[in-house]
Amino acid sequence: MIVNKKIDMPQKRKSGPVIVIWQSPHTNIDIEKEIGKRANASILLCQNDNIKEIVSKYKPDVILFTTRKISKATLDYFEEHNVKFLQRYGLGTEDIDLKYASKLGIIVGDTPHYAPKTVSDHAIAMGLSLLRRIPSLERILTAEKGWNVNLEHLPIDPREATVGIIGLGNIGMHTGKTFQALGSRILALDPYCDKKNFNILKARESSLDYICLKSDLIFLHTPLTEKTLYMFAKEEFKKMKRSASIVNTARGKLINESDLIHALRNKVIYGAGLDVFENENNLQGISKNSPFREQNLNVIVTPHSAWRGIGTLEARIRAAIKGAIRGAYKLTPHTCANPEAFKDRPNFKSWIANGSSHNRAIARESGLYD
């Protein structure tokens, strides 16, 4: 059932929980409705931009969303109307004040595990293209400059390359294992991961400065936080080798784009691969005046699509709706961005063990055991 601002009508509250999908980028919600039905949950798609109107009308237990700026005032409204669980399709909750949400007892669930290898594969493809100098070699050929390649455009052999990886979560580990298999030397930075991850990759645990100075190729696989905001800017690019490149498939604001453009124009570094950007509000893509359209830049750009692949969209949908159902039944989520907010919620095993046969049937039918 598709509901929008023009045609949505008040509906009677059913016995089960209500999950509102707020401005989904996909209008077909058959998967969500199928799983919701098994869990005795009503699933509503609301394209209305006014979330307060939606909450007032439908009184949802959970709001499922993709990328939305959610203000403190909106969080206050959710708390006043007993909306205690927000579920995101995918990762990235930097547009929500998580500390304030936790203070209000609002849990923000996320979906981090549906496509780590797919994202890594995309980053690796960009990285290998930059090492092999594909952007500049293609430009030489199509500009009819002949078949000769000067020293500036000679590719770097991955077996002789030093690869820096910032963030050794699932995505970073897959990237690291791939380049380890190719024979690259691995440098890595992640103050929060298990130290065994460095050992698995035979990686040298390194500072940001050291990675900038020594790497031929740098991958960003880290979340956007106050500490990582614009972690690559003018000073970092100046420390990098002139032959080095950087790949970002994580969050756009990890890189100061104006400083990156300056570094590319002035050949401070060789190139960049970007799947994410500082400003992604323009749904038409890169503007006509964007410097990323300049023909002399060694840059590969893609439309925030690293996660996409055969099967990954459905995997993301299934993981997100199952997370929303767990939230609707006041269970501890599999993953969330603010775990301090659910300290009083029962864990899944105790809910199943101590719950009624109705609870067990819901978990079995909707796939919550997965």
**Residue 68 structure tokens:** 């939305």
292 Cα distance to chain centroid: 22
218 Cα distance to chain centroid: 18
Q: Is 37 exposed, middle or buried (0-12, 13-18, 19+ CB in 10 A)?
A: middle
- Amino acid identity of residue 179, one-letter, is F
Angle at 63 between CA 61 and CA 66, to 5 degrees: 165
Q: Give 58's contacts (C-beta < 8 A, 6+ positions apart).
A: 10, 11, 18, 20, 44, 46
Can you say whether the dihedral through the CA atoms of 93, 94, 97, 102 is positive or negative? positive
Angle at 299 between CA 293 and CA 304, to 5 degrees: 85
d(CA 74, CA 69): 10
Q: Which helix (H) or strand (E) holds 264?
A: helix 257-265
Q: Which helix (H) or strand (E) holds 247?
A: strand 245-248
State yes or no: is 204 an active-site residue: no
Q: Which helix (H) or strand (E) holds 236?
A: helix 234-239
State yes or no: is 153 an active-site residue: no
Q: Give the burial string for 223-244 (b: 16+ CB within 10 Å, else e).
A: bbeeebeebbbeebbebbbebb
State yes or no: is 251 an active-site residue: yes
Three-class secondary structure of residue 88 per DSSP: strand
- Residue tagged active-site, from 34, 280, 294, 340: 280
- Residue tagged active-site, from 38, 113, 132, 304: 304
Q: Phi and psi of 346, rounded to 5°?
A: -70, 145
CB 325 within 8 A of CB 141: no
- Residue tagged active-site, from 174, 251, 318, 326: 251
Q: Which helix (H) or strand (E) holds 200?
A: helix 196-201
Catalytic machinery residues: 251, 280, 304
